[in-house]
Amino acid sequence: MLQGMQLEIISKKISQKQSCLTISMMGNVMQKQVVNKDKGYSEVQGQTIKLSGDELENALEESVIFAEINLDPSKIKVSISDLNGVAAYELAVSPNKSFFYDQETHLKLKF
């Protein structure tokens, strides 16, 4: 809910680095991001901006169904963390991005 109105977020991904993220409020598309293999765009309230450089690279990385598939194992640092009282494995894949998995169930808790 945003200002008493319900947000609808739809994320679609397929295995070929293609994705579409749509955020709507009251049936109106407020924001949309589309990535298609090597190009993409972001649309905010009718204004379209082509993605390029780091923005496009990040969007392509996020467009895969399972982000863990494309990770470079030599760059992953594994540690044990406490995540809201739950013992978790932390896989740090970059200085500002980590994946957290429950030590007991092995389910992903946070990314």
Tens digit of each residue's pLDDT (9 = 90 or more) over 80-94: 999 889 999 999 988
Which runs of consecutive H residues, i.e. helices, occur in the chain?
A: 53-62
Cβ–Cβ < 8 Å for 39, 63: no
Would you state the pLDDT for residue 106? 92
Distance CA 26, CA 6 (A): 7
Would you state the pLDDT for residue 1? 57
Look up the pTM and report it. 0.66
Q: What are phi and psi of 74, to 5 degrees?
A: -70, -15
- Using the Cα atoms of residue 80, residue 86, residue 91 and residue 94 in order, give the sign of their dihedral: negative
Q: What is the mean pLDDT of the chain?
A: 88
Would you state the pLDDT for residue 21? 93
pLDDT of 2 higher than 70:
no
pLDDT of 65 higher than 90:
no
Higher pLDDT, 64 or 35: 35
pLDDT of 48 higher than 80:
yes
Overall average pLDDT of the 49-70 stretch: 86
Instruction: List, in sequence order, every beta strand (DSSP E) within the chain.
Output: 7-14, 18-25, 28-36, 39-44, 47-50, 77-83, 86-94, 97-102, 108-110
Distance CA 54, CA 10 (A): 24
Would you state the pLDDT for residue 83? 87
